[in-house]
Amino acid sequence: MAPNSVVVTIEKPDSSALKVNGLDSSVFLEKQKAVSTKQFTWVLLLKVNRIFACLSWLPMAFRAMFVSLRKRIALSDMSDEEPKSRGRLYKFIKAFLGLSIVALVIEVIAHFKNWNLNLIQPWEVQGLVQWSYMTWSAFRVDYIAPVAIILSKFCIVLFLIQSLDRLVLCLGCFWIKYKKIKPTVAADAYDIEDPSTFPMVLLQIPMCNEREVYEQAIESACQMDWPRDRLLIQVLDDSDDRNLQLLIKDEVSKWNQKGVNIIYRHRLIRTGYKAGNLKSAMGCDYVKDYEFVAIFDADFQPNPDFLKLTIPHFKGNPELGLVQARWSFVNKDENLLTRLQNINLCFHFEVEQQVNGVFLNFFGFNGTAGVWRIKALEESGGWLERTTVEDMDIAVRAHLNGWKFIFLNDVRVLCELPESYETYKKQQHRWHSGPMQLFRLCLPAILTSKISMWKKSNLIFLFFLLRKLILPFYSFTLFCIILPLTMFLPEAELPLWVICYIPIFMSFLNILPSPRSFPFLVPYLLFENTMSVTKFNAMVSGLFQLGSSYEWVVTKKTGRSSESDLLALAERESLSSNEEKILRRNSESGLELLSKLKEQEVAPIPKKKKKNGIYRKELALAFLLLTASARSFLSAHGVHFYFLLFQGLSFLAVGLDLIGEQMG
């Protein structure tokens, strides 16, 4: 056998063991290294091939994204956004964006040419761009940076105060759960077998052009488990659609003939929005016979036992003016926007309302799903039309008159969340401009009221200033203006705990009441910062009484029902046809109503096709933050870069109306 020959023997057919004889081990290792080198080369080539494939895919992806953006802009409706986008805030953001782009171009040139301000003497300056860079650097150090540092420190202090307030509220909520503190009622509040012991209750359903939800609202109210002779339902219709008025009248008449004590009211002069509607209804002569009034917006579907769970709390508690129930949402999982709203509102009810109700006996009335003692309403001045937050207005005035409130976290009423960003934005504008209107009007009354100094301080500093004014101010100023500005001002850079650690911790606390929403922690944080521009704009308009602060837009409803409602509806429809539901009326016969409905089915009212919007303030802020992220990338800031990048993309998604309901 040759000395350098190789003999390979296989002991077992399925064994991987090899026996090597007669070979110098160094030769074998060299061959193995050669094979490994070839394999490594092939792996590198494969990686390079994949990289080039990705690079070739990127232009196609960017082209597809650009085409989709052009299509979205071309098909979007900017009519609603156009007048607002011409305001001062939008002009300020555009000017800031233009300066940021110019500064970024200069900074990029300086970065690649390795310009160093400390090493360049004035006589060594070459060209206009280098002179501009040196002038900008000297100007920002001497004039801009000191102002930015002072403003950022001021906003950070406000941020810490508001975070401390939220932490205290969470600790209060933990204490309530630990001690199992709940409002209680007397066991013998009312004699179930004797309906005459039940108090007289007025149930009001204010609505305006609520075509999608009027039927389910009336049905839920008419199924209330309360003695019929002790309950009166008022359907307060402010609709300006004559056909819709007839449909609502027909629904009311149907339940009236079933023995339900229900009436239909329509104002000829519809002023004052919801407050004017409620004020008009409370002016009826028969209201004096009732002790309590329950209020439900048109999209709310209370359970039949709602009154039996709320009214007993008034028994033996003459100082109690309001019992507020919690909202529950039938469409909370519809899209990303509704999921994020659910996080906010769960925290609002579980923490803010519950803690304030337990420890202060005061909170802002939510405008619906609550029961008022009519005496408390009358002594507090009744419904006023002076602001767009009539619910908060009456709550503050009742608190100043010494009335106490109770919040029932266990009593929940189904309702809807806005599914489109346009609807949600208009709702938030009203919710954040109204409190500032009210603060201006109520401040003298708060200062001269007879309540304790602690309650006055709570109303002024916590309820109004901290939670209604400071929160939107620092959210917008700190994270949308100062943070991108500091990317061009290294002297005023914000610390990581301001932009990362504390915001994430506070977002974590916000999500605790809705634990199923933990996967949306980061989107929630980004979305809250995105909404800060709308809330800041609304706060300023309300504080300075600008025209947009008096805008009232009815929140659009879709008429979604719960599973039990859908099953009940299917059962009812299987028992009777649409024609059999039309009953004979005094004013017009059933045949006339039937013919009218058939005419409407044949010739439906043409509806304007819905389109997604384009929101220019959000888009301008998106490009501003992305510009700042590019500057942060040059400086290798790390967390600052990623925060600005994702926050900019969040603004871009909202500006293109990609977050909520997508129209065809």
CB distance 468 to 543 below 8 Å:
no
Least confident of 180-194, 615-629, 634-648: 180-194
Rounded to 5 degrees, what angle do the CA atoms 133, 134, 139 make?
A: 100
Question: Distance between CA atoms of 126 and 450, rounded to whole angstroms?
Answer: 72
Q: What does the buried/exposed string (b/e) look like for 604-629 if buried means 16 or more CB atoms within 10 Å of the residue's CB? A: eeeeeeebbbbbbbbbbbbbbbbbbb
Helix ranges (H only) for 487-520 are 496, 502-511
| Range 191-418: architecture per CATH | Alpha-Beta Complex (3.90)
Query: First and final CA of the chain: distance in angstroms?
Result: 83
Q: Which residues contact 653 (CB under 8 A, 6 or more apart)?
A: 659
Which tokens go with 284?
């009826």
pLDDT tens-digit readout, 606-615: 555 566 788 9
Number of neighbours of residue 321 by Cβ within 10 angstroms: 28
158 band by pLDDT with thresholds 50, 70 and 90: very high
According to DSSP, the residues that pair with 202 across neighbouring strands are 232, 293
Catalytic residue (choose from 250, 297, 391, 393): 391
Average pLDDT of the residues in 63-68 = 64
Residue tagged 């599973």 (tokens): 563
Residue 662 has pLDDT above 60, yes or no: yes
Cite the beta strand spans of 165-252 per DSSP E. 201-207, 231-237
Catalytic residue (choose from 238, 250, 299, 657): 238
Q: Which residues contact 290 (CB under 8 A, 6 or more apart)?
A: 200, 201, 202, 232, 374
Q: Identify residue 79 by its one-letter amino acid code.
A: S
Average pLDDT of the residues in 120-148 = 75
pLDDT tens-digit readout, 384-409: 999 989 999 999 999 999 999 999 99
- pLDDT value of residue 604: 47
pLDDT tens-digit readout, 304-361: 999 999 999 999 899 999 999 999 999 999 999 999 999 999 999 999 999 999 999 9
For strand 262-266 and strand 231-237, is the pairing parallel, antiparallel, or unpaired? parallel
- pLDDT value of residue 363: 96
Q: Which residues contact 370 (CB under 8 A, 6 or more apart)?
A: 294, 295, 322, 323, 324, 325
Q: pTM here?
A: 0.82
Task: Write out the DSSP string of 382-430.
Answer: ----SSS-HHHHHHHHHHHTT-EEEEEEEEEEEE----SHHHHHHHHHH
- pLDDT value of residue 5: 46
pLDDT tens-digit readout, 496-541: 999 999 999 999 999 999 999 999 999 999 999 999 999 999 999 9
- pLDDT value of residue 561: 60
User: Is 391 marked active-site?
Assistant: yes
- pLDDT value of residue 452: 94
271 band by pLDDT with thresholds 50, 70 and 90: confident
For strand 201-207 and strand 292-295, is the pairing parallel, antiparallel, or unpaired? parallel
According to DSSP, the residues that pair with 413 across neighbouring strands are 327
Q: Identify residue 593 by its one-letter amino acid code.
A: L
642 band by pLDDT with thresholds 50, 70 and 90: very high
- pLDDT value of residue 64: 64
Average pLDDT of the residues in 282-297 = 96
DSSP class of residue 22? Answer: S
Residue 6 has pLDDT above 50, yes or no: no
User: Which tops the pLDDT comparison, 177 or 22?
Assistant: 177
Give helix 336-347 / helix 421-448 axis angle, nearest 10°. 20
Task: Write out the DSSP string of 598-645.
Answer: HHHHHSPPP-PPP--B--HHHHHHHHHHHHHHHHHHHTT-THHHHHHH
Kindly state the percentage of the chain with pLDDT values over 90: 63
C-alpha dihedral, 123 to 127 to 128 to 134, nearest 10°: -50
119: left (phi over 0), alpha (psi -120 to 50) or beta: alpha
Domain with CATH 3.90.550.10 in the chain: 191-418
SS3 157: helix
